[in-house]
Structure 1
Amino acid sequence: MQYDAIILGGGAAGLMCAARAGQRGKRVVVLERAEAVGKKILISGGGRCNFTNLHTAPDRYLSANPHFAKSALARYTAGDFLQLVENHGIAWHEKTLGQLFCDGSARQIVAMLLAECEKGGVEVRCGVDVGEVEHGDGRFRIGEYTAPALVISTGGPSIPKMGATGFAYDLARRFGLKVVEPRPALVPLTLGGGDVLFRELSGVSADVVASVGKARFREAALFTHRGLSGPAILQVSSYWRPGEAVAIDFLPGRAPGWLTEAKRAAPRTMLRSVLRDALPERLAATLADRLPPLAELGGATDKALNAAEAQLAGWRFHPTGTEGFAKAEVTVGGISTAELSSRTMASHRVPGLYAIGEAVDVTGWLGGYNFQWAWASGVAAGDAL
């Protein structure tokens, strides 16, 4: 069964690539191991698919080469994908921070991609367990399928219960391509040691600024029975490395000296009461108990209040680890961008071999950025096949 291109993986990037190439007149087959395509799309955004982000820019992506994503993202933008969504009559809304979701169901995005594939005459084969990939005489062979081009779009190992594996990396290494060590990203962090007491706050969330190094995100943080989660924590988890501290500003936006001002305005007020006015009660009590003992604000020195203020603005947690690939939304690392053309996603060393989407060492922030990379990288390869 001869084709112009075999695409391994029927996820966001693979289907986008297939549709694009098929509509250019290429004979394309998509081989998907699962019983249906787009399984990760279906669970994304609480079932409504956060399909892109209006604020997409290269600086919202992590990679060993931060410049690699620029070409594809510039040539296929969030606006381009939104136009496709509107062309298919899919209603959408912006939630927060530029995040776009379907009004209805993520199934609409999968149906749209399949319709685009059908328009290009793409064949989609599900339940295909890819075994040996052979390469010779300028052609790739997988069982009965053969083509001069092969696209790796099988994603990374995040969310293994959805069938995710490290297959893309194994295949890349088989062809001599380097792989940047993969690690879980957009993943909850676990706490132990002196921080373990904060796990008693399981279920409590607050608007905070979480930071690791120069990476800072203002969104909600959530305490869990294992540690820390919520959007702000998931964002910094992509930057966090074992041994590093995560700093949390529990009262972002407060001007320096706000506690001493509170003392002068109401000297008989207790610190716990001040915190309770701004934070969930259980969190306020826990923080107050772990600060140096301060009774009424009027009885505390300005120096003591400034110290408490500084601690609240940069409370340091020392995670013991992450909840791993099982709970990670995406993967940092993957097939090295040094091996690929940023314009076509083609391998420099193996003619006809391409890699796209999460399989590549390009990882976006939370909020639709990873889908936009899937669309953009898929289009880049689809236009080059």
Structure 2
Amino acid sequence: MQNFDVVIVGAGAAGLFCAGVAGQLGLKVLLVDHSEKIAEKIRISGGGRCNFTNRDASPAQFLSENPHFCRSALSRYTPQDFIDLLRRYNIPFHEKHKGQLFCDRSAEDIINMLVAECDAGGVTRWQPCSVKDVTAEADGNYRLQTDRGPVSAGQVVIATGGLSIPKIGATDFGYRLARQFGLRLVEPRPALVPLTFDGEDWAPFAQLAGLALPVLVETGAADATPKQRKKATVFSEDLLFTHRGLSGPAVLQVSSFWQEGQPVRVNLAPGTDLPNLLLQAKARSKKLIANELASLVPSRLADAWVSADPALQRPISDATDKALQGLAQRLADWQLVPNGTEGYKKAEVTVGGVDTRDLSSQTMESKQPGLYFIGEVVDVTGWLGGYNFQWAWASAYACAQALLVRQATLADN
């Protein structure tokens, strides 16, 4: 049997980074992953250029049953720390908007850097190699049965991610292991995912597939009071119509907050005084309402919206003020209830995971001594825009530091 100080299961962003840091701290590290290709989620992220962090990352951009849990790790490893690492490797990058940082060339730059960090730390990497079983031994060590034989380690780190994008190897291994050791879970669900709508109800809008426009979007209970809505998280991003529903950054963002049965509210003309502009048009124009509306929102949207209401299929001069004000209100507060999402196959991340009540926010160690959970497998989920990668780096770094401290304690005993 081979012996290591630490076995890390999962060679994605969090696992690779944790292995590299721990190895360079002097620990004997084994990194194991069941997939043939390393870090596939990094490779496909950001259109192949990896939105590796966000300059503005803070706890405010993360969802969790315990929203304060991420504070410690995020404060100890910041976006600037990861930027400094990229600069050491001369990796060029750029900022798109809202603090989102991407590689100039390819996500392969990030993967190669993380592998180089592992090599610098003398990390042993087994891939592809599956872990069949993990048991806690009487002596305090862990025994892992793998495709390449049994291994033993004083500490085990689970960095196996969530359930999103199963075609690149996502599994529920981390959740099953957490349950095995008596840890609680926050029920996982798809996040940063397109929303879908009933086919019959969606038919008038399916023809808009491919149309994108800037919107304001939020979600919440159907009977939310104005005060509750004022406190809601509202995203100002682009929306994309699809044949089955809505996508684009605005919808991906709000999907992480959406709960089954809740409506989604969309302002299709943010920053536009629709009631006043439509009434002004009525006073000076004899054009059809659809034609006037097309000067305020995309023409395809105007046509689809008006075609669904016979009362609006007339010259704007013939419309009542009440009808025009009602049209403006519906466009500014379009309420619709999704029947679901596109699921894990299209989800970028997973909301939920290992309950943070059973983890240390300082070390990422669970209440099972020597067993750690980092990255997406934990109930911490970031917004779209590089935040989830920053959580991977920060939680991995916090864990690696803790591994060294605990290893020293084990050695003393």
Residue matched to 2:89: 88
Residue matched to 2:182: 176
Residue matched to 1:370: 388
Taking only aligned residues, the RMSD between alpha carbons, in angstroms, comes to: 1.4
Q: Answer whether contact 2:208 2:242 (CA < 8 A) is retained.
A: yes
SS in 1 for 2:3: coil
Instruction: Report whether the alignment pairs 1:158 with 2:164.
Output: yes
- C-alpha displacement at 1:300, in angstroms? 2.7
- C-alpha displacement at 1:292, in angstroms? 6.4
Deviation string for 1:74-117 (max 9, x for gaps)? 11111111111111100001112111100001000000001111
The residue identity in structure 2 corresponding to 1:382 is: A
Residue matched to 2:114: 113
Deviation string for 1:45-68 (max 9, x for gaps)? 111000001121111111000111
- C-alpha displacement at 1:218, in angstroms? 1.3
The residue identity in structure 2 corresponding to 1:139 is: N
Instruction: Report whether the alignment pairs 1:140 with 2:114.
Output: no
Q: Answer whether contact 1:13 1:356 (CA < 8 A) is retained.
A: yes
Instruction: Report whether the alignment pairs 1:337 with 2:356.
Output: yes
- In 1, the alpha carbon distance for the partners of 2:252 and 2:278 equals 33
- 1:1-385 paired onto structure 2 within 5 Å: 1-136=2-137, 137-143=139-145, 144-192=150-198, 193-213=200-220, 214-255=232-273, 257-263=275-281, 266-291=284-309, 293-294=311-312, 295-347=314-366, 349-385=367-403
Distance 1:96 1:265, change over 3 A: farther
- C-alpha displacement at 1:18, in angstroms? 0.8
Higher mean Cα deviation, 190-199 or 366-375?
Answer: 190-199
- C-alpha displacement at 1:374, in angstroms? 0.3
Q: Mind listing any 5+ residue stretches in structure 2 that lack a counterpart?
A: 221-231, 404-413
Q: Answer whether contact 1:259 1:306 (CA < 8 A) is retained.
A: no
Higher mean Cα deviation, 81-90 or 268-277?
Answer: 268-277
Q: Answer whether contact 1:29 1:123 (CA < 8 A) is retained.
A: yes
SS in 2 for 1:168: helix
Q: Answer whether contact 2:195 2:247 (CA < 8 A) is retained.
A: yes
SS in 1 for 2:384: coil
Q: Answer whether contact 2:11 2:38 (CA < 8 A) is retained.
A: yes
Higher mean Cα deviation, 121-130 or 187-196?
Answer: 187-196
Q: Answer whether contact 1:291 1:308 (CA < 8 A) is retained.
A: no
Q: Answer whether contact 1:42 1:106 (CA < 8 A) is retained.
A: yes
Q: Answer whether contact 1:346 1:355 (CA < 8 A) is retained.
A: yes
Distance 1:235 1:247, change over 3 A: same
The residue identity in structure 1 corresponding to 2:265 is: A
- C-alpha displacement at 1:328, in angstroms? 0.6
- C-alpha displacement at 1:380, in angstroms? 0.6
SS in 1 for 2:311: coil
SS in 2 for 1:379: helix
Q: Answer whether contact 1:334 1:360 (CA < 8 A) is retained.
A: yes
Q: Answer whether contact 1:188 1:230 (CA < 8 A) is retained.
A: yes
SS in 2 for 1:148: strand
- In 1, the alpha carbon distance for the partners of 2:203 and 2:300 equals 15
SS in 2 for 1:354: strand
What is the count of residue pairs matched by the alignment? Answer: 384
SS in 2 for 1:68: coil
The residue identity in structure 2 corresponding to 1:57 is: S
Q: Answer whether contact 2:132 2:144 (CA < 8 A) is retained.
A: yes
Distance 1:261 1:118, change over 3 A: same
Q: Mind listing any 5+ residue stretches in structure 1 that lack a counterpart?
A: none
SS in 1 for 2:295: helix
Higher mean Cα deviation, 160-169 or 188-197?
Answer: 188-197
- Identity among equivalent positions (%) equals 51
Q: Answer whether contact 2:204 2:308 (CA < 8 A) is retained.
A: no
SS in 1 for 2:81: helix
- In 1, the alpha carbon distance for the partners of 2:20 and 2:157 equals 13
Distance 1:23 1:265, change over 3 A: farther
Higher mean Cα deviation, 284-293 or 115-124?
Answer: 284-293
- In 1, the alpha carbon distance for the partners of 2:118 and 2:163 equals 26
Q: Answer whether contact 2:192 2:347 (CA < 8 A) is retained.
A: yes
SS in 2 for 1:328: coil
- C-alpha displacement at 1:302, in angstroms? 2.8
